Amino acid sequence: MNPLHIFETPQLLTRAAADGFLAAAAAAIAARGRFSVALAGGSTPRALYALLAAENLDWQAIHFFWGDERCLPPDHPESNYRMAAESLLTKIPLPPENIHRIMGELSPQLAAEKYQRNLRVFWGGAPRFDLVLLGMGEDGHTASLFPGSPALAETLRWVTALEHAAPPPPLVSRVTLTLGAINAARQVIFLVSGAGKAKRLAEIRRGGSQLPAGRVQPLDGDLLWLVDQSAASLC
Ligand code: 6PG
């Protein structure tokens, strides 16, 4: 079982996640001249993105993707793209072509098709993200892979659309990377904060969990769980 890195406060958790991002970016750029990262949505990563915005990185070599997106316009308050744009992307010298967002303003199917095509073009085949950042919901979901979702059984596609409204609020359709695309990454870092996550995190840490977050296990890559003490309180 991968080690659990527990931090006293969300601030220390965020700093550790930033250090992980910086290390992954440096290694990827040194090895391949570019760094591909899939950002997590939700609220936890906002502080991380704000911290990264103050870093002096080779942003020209960094390509931003998303693990999932709500099917909303990019300027909607609940858009994962908007959260990243507000906290990071508009604050750094990033070429627009380095932003590979999921086009939430389109129909779920069309957004998924376009994103899948973008992944294929970027890698010339199957995606292998240098880093995938993930959060975990209180129900054990990650990205937009929810417990019991048919999307969990998808083995051919790297991107899929959940046509029907998915929790948590806002109850809108979603587009998400599949477990196959996530588990093909060189590294996955989970950021989990808050007592509300404790029950499911403990379940996953006991092993054998079929919760979506528990099924993230890179085939040829590293998995890092960065959690705060509240989230780890039942582990
Ligand atoms: C989303 C995210 C989702 C998120 C978890 C945790 O679109 O909501 O991709 O998977 O990471 O729900 O969200 P919090 O960080 O807000 O707890």
Q: Name residues contacting ligand 1 (CB within 6 A).
A: 40-44, 67-68, 80, 135-137, 141-144
Contact predicate 190/136, CB 8 Å: yes
Ligand 1 centroid to 219 CA: how many Å? 23
* Ligand 1 atom closest to Cα of residue 80: 7
pLDDT mean by block of 10 residues, the chain; 235 residues: 89 98 98 98 97 98 98 97 98 98 98 98 98 98 96 97 83 96 98 98 94 97 97 97
Query: Which tokens hold the place of 155?
Result: 């083995």
Q: What angle do CA 229, 233, 235 make, to 5 degrees?
A: 110
Q: What is the pLDDT of residue 164?
A: 79
Stretch (H or E) spanning 202:
helix 198-205
Q: What is the pLDDT of residue 168?
A: 78
Ligand 1 centroid to 45 CA: how many Å? 9
DSSP-assigned letter for residue 56? -
Q: What is the pLDDT of residue 169?
A: 80
Helix axes 45-52, 80-87, angle to 10 degrees: 40
Write out the E strands in 8-125. 35-39, 62-66, 68-70
Q: Mutate which of 76, 136, 144 to test ligand 1's pocket (most atoms within 8 Å of Cβ)?
A: 136
CA end-to-end distance (rounded Å), the chain: 13
Ligand 1 centroid to 31 CA: how many Å? 31
Ligand 1: which residue has its CA nearest to atom 15? 44
Q: Mutate which of 65, 141, 230 to test ligand 1's pocket (most atoms within 8 Å of Cβ)?
A: 141
Distance between CA 219 and CA 180 in Å, rounded? 9
Tell me the pTM. 0.98
